[in-house]
Structure 1
Amino acid sequence: MTSNRPYLLRAIYDWITDNNLTPYILVDAVREGVRVPPQVIKNGQVVLNLAMRAVANLDLGNEWISFQARFSGVSQSILIPVSAVLALYAQENGQGMMFPAEEGDGG
């Protein structure tokens, strides 16, 4: 079977936004394919705000999460393999879901 991670990510994202909270993702920034500004990486991880007001063109796909976001006033294209997402949670109360490392993805 295919991974349930992208389906869970979309469901948790919808649940968080439907409750008027701010969705944040925790990403393993050293995973192959992760494209984020290097200055936002801390201890090999990055936390990103996925709120509609913070990003443009958000695509929560089955293999990749992609969007545009501004860092220090500069718009950047962000690309994250779904397998690199470690958690998706509401910034206000921490409610959400942690994700284990996936087998066979090199991480």
Structure 2
Amino acid sequence: MNDETPVMTSHRPYLLRALYEWIADNEMTPHLLVDATRSGVQVPLHAVSEGRIVLNVAQQAVSGLEMTNELIRFSARFGGVSQSISVPTHAVVAIYARETGQGMVLPEETGEEAGAGDNAPAPSAAGGTPRPALSAVPSDTSSTEDREGNGHDPGPDGDGTDPGPRRGGHLRVVK
């Protein structure tokens, strides 16, 4: 038997696809909590709050949803304007059902997993690689159209518009 442990790909994309299917099969609305400060994230900057964004990825809210091992890509409407969204799987913090809050907070990836599956070595503890700046998709913030069914949930982390009555918290981050 071999003394070396085989290197496996990240389990994150598999968990994301499975949980997405589970939430959709239960006729609920899947949402992604995304760390918008991670490299490769392309979302409307005006929709980001405190470095995070909540994306409604329900089938009726997006078009062209593609979930690969490296990337989640789709088009969604923000303020009535269609936007192309691109989120690397390593930037997804959680996936949950809007109606119940049930889902999963994904653990931080370490070592080779943090390189989004590209087998990049982990940054050294003494001099880690700094996080890149936000990458934003151009947007038109002048529109005030109804946001129902769009790709962004303007809840408590909204973009400055009045989201209506609060539904209560969905997730609690425990450190």
- The TM tier, using the shorter chain, reads over 0.9
Task: Pick one of 46, 55, 77 that aligns with 2:84.
Answer: 77
Task: Pick one of 44, 49, 62 that aligns with 1:55.
Answer: 62
Q: CA deviation at 1:103?
A: 1.6
CA RMSD between the two structures: 1.1
Give TM-score scaled by structure 1 length: 0.96
Task: Pick one of 38, 47, 67 that aligns with 2:45.
Answer: 38
Specify the structure having the higher radius of gyration (Cα). Answer: 2
Post-superposition Cα deviations, 1:79-103, rounded to whole Å, max 9, x if no partner, equal 0000000000000000011112212
Task: Pick one of 82, 86, 95 that aligns with 1:88.
Answer: 95
2:35 corresponds in structure 1 to: 28
Greater share of helix residues, 1 or 2? 1
In the alignment of these two chains, the number of paired residues is 107
CA distance in 2, matches of 1:94, 1:69: 22
Q: Runs ≥4 in structure 1, deviation > 4 angstroms? A: none
Aligned partner letter, 1:86: V
Structure 2 runs not aligned, ≥5 long? 1-7, 115-128, 132-175
Give TM-score scaled by structure 2 length: 0.59
Task: Pick one of 6, 9, 12 that aligns with 1:2.
Answer: 9
CA distance in 1, matches of 2:85, 2:109: 21
Structure 1 runs not aligned, ≥5 long? none
CA distance in 2, matches of 1:91, 1:102: 25
Secondary structure of the structure 2 residue equivalent to 1:101:
coil
What is the percent sequence identity of the aligned residues?
Answer: 57
CA distance in 2, matches of 1:73, 1:103: 38
Alignment of 1:103 onto 2:135: no
